[in-house]
Amino acid sequence: MAIEQGNFDKAVRPYRQAIAQCPDGAQRAIWQVDMGLLLYRIGRFDAAERELAIVERYSPDNLRLFECRYYRALALMRLGRFAEAEEILDELESERRFDGYIKEGYLTGARMELYRLTQRTRELDSLERATSQQTAMSDALLVAHFERGLEYFRAKDYDKAIKYFATARVRRSPVFDGAKRLFDLLNIRQQKLQQLAMMSGPFSTDSARRVRAYVAFELGRAHQELGNRDSAAKWYRVAIEGAPRSDTLRAQYLYTLARLEEASQPELADSLLMTVFEEYPFTEYGREAKQQLGFTDYAIRDTAADLLSSGEHLRRAHEYRLALQQLASLTTKYPASRHAPRALYLMGWIWENDLRNNDSALYYYTLLVRNYPASDYAKDVSRSVAAALVKREGSAPPWLKDEQPNKPQQQPLPAPHSSPVPGVTVPSFPSRDLQPSEQPAMQPSGMPSPTALPHSQQGQQPFPVAPSPEPPPAEPSPEPPPKP
């Protein structure tokens, strides 16, 4: 507690009292060493050196005598008194009673530290080569390698630093956790730079741009962990600028840069958060940005029009799975909206023309005709739906026979676990890894579950494929028809 409060005199007071009251010289030596090591660990090197020098006044055994001299030499190095430190190391090396500790590499590690601090690089390199076989077995040598790695790390010489951290993490030691952490971060940095070097050049697809942006973001995150704020900001910007706007991970890139800049550039951070909120309001980062900006739930636009617009945008970006999810959300949340018929029409359109799955297209067109018979979109496909169902079943289904086209009100949705199309199971979302021609049938949230009814026969075309890529209801056009 006293150390946490910075009251070092209070921290060592129990040691001083115990030493003063103890008549046993060997025990006093033990407590004197412990007090000196405590001061050394908290960075009070001048006080540690003084207290360790007192140990020899008592009756220390060989272990306490070696400890007090060894750590006194290390404290003298930290104080810049290198000649005194080297003299102590020479004395320890000359006494045979300390051979056991010498074999464990303590003096070698101390000399490495001395050569590093005095910039005697040639001697240090020579000593490292001579003891390379012993390094993994000695904590002192592992600490010395870690310290040299830190020196290169602070100088931004990461290629040399990572080699020393790799050596220092070979087994558990006092520096294992730190060495492993820094090695992992530098290794990530190295790998991401190599990946980006292989990705240089213009990209023709959103998928390639998305991958490169994510690699740049991971590189920025590694730099942030390494304490390189400017480098982190640089690579976050590369990720933001390189990612397609349809990539929702871009929200994470913007949000992370905002958090990085919030202390030094609060206005820029707020601007980045606003971008996240406006462009990606339904992502977790969009919701977090809303809270950071102090907006209420009423600030989020969650209307049928927005869902329809989002679905159309995602379709144009060839993100068919996400587009179908947005459109399905519209038909589930806002079935009475004037945009619901167009959403079902567009879902059928995507399956028919983009994913080339006529069974799924027929499913959504049938939902459109059954639930919104008076809409222009239903009228556009009703004849084709009827023809496809008659061809499949031999006769029109009862609900289609009874349909009254001039009835304006919305019809009830089909019962759960049923399909409005005989012989067609409910579609399910496609895998993003499949090509359009390989897509399975798809079921968004809110749609009925699959039935036990079998699929159509192999090769059968239950719904006619339009002759042009994207025919509108009225006249040829490259896009689905506009909103009525």
Looking at the structure, do residues 261 and 166 belong to the same domain, yes or no?
no
CA 167 – CA 136 distance, rounded (Å): 8
pLDDT tops 70 at residue 180: yes
* Rounded Cα distance, 370 and 381, in Å: 11
Query: Does residue 186 lie within any of the structural domains?
Result: no
- Residues 161, 224: one domain? no
State the Cα–Cα distance between residues 348 and 350, nearest whole angstrom.
5
What pLDDT score does 301 carry?
A: 55
Please give the residue that has the higher pLDDT: either 295 or 387: 387
pLDDT value at position 321? Answer: 87
Q: Look at residue 292 and tell me if it is in a domain.
A: yes
Q: Under 8 Å CB-to-CB from 260, ≥6 apart: which residues?
A: 224, 229, 232, 233, 236
pLDDT of amino acid 1: 55
Residue 179 within a domain: no
pLDDT of residue 203: 74
Taking the C-alpha atoms of residue 172 and residue 139, their distance in angstroms, rounded to an integer, is 9
Contact (Cβ atoms closer than 8 angstroms) between residue 430 and residue 407: no
Mean of the per-residue pLDDT values for the chain?
81
* 408 C-beta neighbours (distance < 10 Å), count: 10
- The reply to whether 27 and 153 lie within a common domain is yes
Number of domains, the chain: 3
Q: What is the pLDDT of residues 116-166, one digit of tens each?
A: 999 999 999 999 999 988 888 889 999 999 999 999 999 999 999 999 999
What's the pLDDT at 462? 35
Give the residue from 438, 459, 479 where a domain finishes: 438
Assess if residue 17 is contained within a domain: yes
Residue 205's pLDDT is: 86
Annotate the chain with three-state secondary structure. CCCCCCCHHHHHHHHHHHHHHCCCHHHHHHHHHHHHHHHHHCCCHHHHHHHHHHHHHCCCCHHHHHHHHHHHHHHHHHCCCHHHHHHHHHHHHHCHHHHHHHHCCHHHHHHHHHHHHCCCHHHHHHHHHHCCCCHHHCHHHHHHHHHHHHHHHHCCCHHHHHHHHHHHCCCCCCCHHHHHHHHHHHHHHHHHHHHHHHCCCCCCCHHHHHHHHHHHHHHHHHHHHCCCHHHHHHHHHHHHHHCCCCCCHHHHHHHHHHHHHCCCCHHHHHHHHHHHHHHCCCCHHHHHHHHHHCCCHHHCCCCHHHHHHHHHHHHHCCCHHHHHHHHHHHHHHCCCCCCHHHHHHHHHHHHHHHCCCHHHHHHHHHHHHHHCCCCHHHHHHHHHHHHHHHHHHCCCCHHHHCCCCCCCCCCCCCCCCCCCCCCCCCCCCCCCCCCHHHCCCCCCCCCCCCCCCCCCCCCCCCCCCCCCCCCCCCCCCCCCCCCC
Q: How far is CA 440 from CA 8, 154, 429, in A?
A: 71, 55, 7
User: Which tens digit of pLDDT belongs to each residue from 292-341?
Assistant: 888 755 555 557 888 888 888 888 878 888 889 889 989 998 888 889 99
Residues 166, 266, single domain; the answer is no
Side chain identity at 287, as an amino acid letter?
Answer: R
**Alpha carbon of 76 to those of 34, 142, 453: distances in Å?**
18, 21, 86
Q: Is residue 238 part of a domain?
A: yes
Say which residues have a Cβ less than 8 Å from residue 1's Cβ, sequence separation at least 6.
none
Residue 164's domain spans which residues? 8-174
Does some domain include residue 477? Answer: no
Residue 207 and residue 163 in one domain: no
Count of CB atoms within 10 A of residue 463's CB?
28
Q: Are 161 and 218 members of one domain?
A: no
Within-domain flag for 117: yes
| Whether residue 236 sits in one domain with residue 149 | no
Determine the Cα–Cα distance for residues 182 and 170; give it in Å rounded to an integer: 13
Q: How far apart are CA 387 and CA 390, in angstroms?
A: 5
Both 43 and 112 in one domain: the answer is: yes
Q: Which of 438, 463, 479 is the last residue of a domain?
A: 438
Q: Give whole-number Cα distances, 268 to 238, 273, 290, in Å.
A: 16, 9, 16
Q: Is 256 a residue whose pLDDT tops 90?
A: yes
Using a 10 angstrom Cβ sphere, with 0-12 exposed, 13-18 middle and 19 or more buried, the burial of residue 125 is exposed
Backbone angles phi, psi at 45, to 5 degrees: -70, -35
Q: Are residues 228 and 361 in the same domain?
A: no
- pLDDT band at residue 400 using 50, 70 and 90 as cut-offs: low
- Which pLDDT belongs to residue 467? 30
- Retrieve residue 239's tokens: 């990720």
Q: What is the pLDDT of residues 214-242, one digit of tens each?
A: 999 999 999 999 999 999 999 999 999 99
Both 91 and 216 in one domain: the answer is no
- Claim to verify: residue 148 and residue 230 sit in the same structural domain: no
Residue 70: CB atoms within 10 A of its CB come to 21
Q: What percentage of the chain reaches a pLDDT higher than 90? A: 50
Determine the straight-line distance between the first and last CA of the chain, rounded to whole angstroms.
74
**Contact in structure between 312 and 346 (CB atoms under 8 Å):** yes
Q: What is the pLDDT of residue 448?
A: 35
Looking at 174, 191, 226, the residue that finishes a domain is 174
Write the pLDDT tens digit of every residue in 403-422: 544 444 444 444 433 444 44
Task: Tell me, yes or no, whether 94 and 168 share the same domain.
Answer: yes
**Of 6-10, 161-165, 253-257, 312-316, minimum mean pLDDT range:** 6-10
pLDDT recorded at residue 297: 58
Residue pair 190/162 in contact (Cβ under 8 Å)? The answer is: yes
CATH number at residue 148: 1.25.40.10
CB 368 within 8 Å of CB 378: yes
Q: Is residue 128 part of a domain?
A: yes
- Least confident piece of the model among 21-35, 53-67, 443-457: 443-457
